[in-house]
Structure 1
Amino acid sequence: MSGSAMSEFYLPWKCESEQHTYEKCEYELVMERMLQMQKIREREAQLKGQSPQSLPQIPKTANA
């Protein structure tokens, strides 16, 4: 191997700041996706609750 090839080997202790930045970005993306999914679920639950086709929560009796 030539000297220039040796200088390009992976040196994990030289990229700790980049790794931290990458992991923080990855974490923020996961949290953003979870928040978006929560909003979607809340919207779907709200639409199901307002739908005229849904069953009533309290059934009406025949004599009411």
Structure 2
Amino acid sequence: HDQAIKDLVQSAFGHNGQKCSAASLAVLEAEVYDNPDFRRQLKDAVASLPVGSAWALANKITPL
């Protein structure tokens, strides 16, 4: 699951999600969707993205 989460977060939020190939939907099998560990890891991965000024290059989510 780790690689799937990493790839999904990168696709959905890379370049602030402003690229034509950005993920906007994740199709999951029921056993993955119902897995609380998967959902927690996905939530934690998104919550860990640095948010702030575009001038701070470490930030991944910035104003458009």
Please say which structure displays the higher CA radius of gyration.
1
Higher helix proportion: 1
Higher relative contact order, chain-length normalized (CA < 8 Å, sep 6+): 2
TM-score, normalised to structure 1, is: 0.31
TM-score, normalised to structure 2, is: 0.31
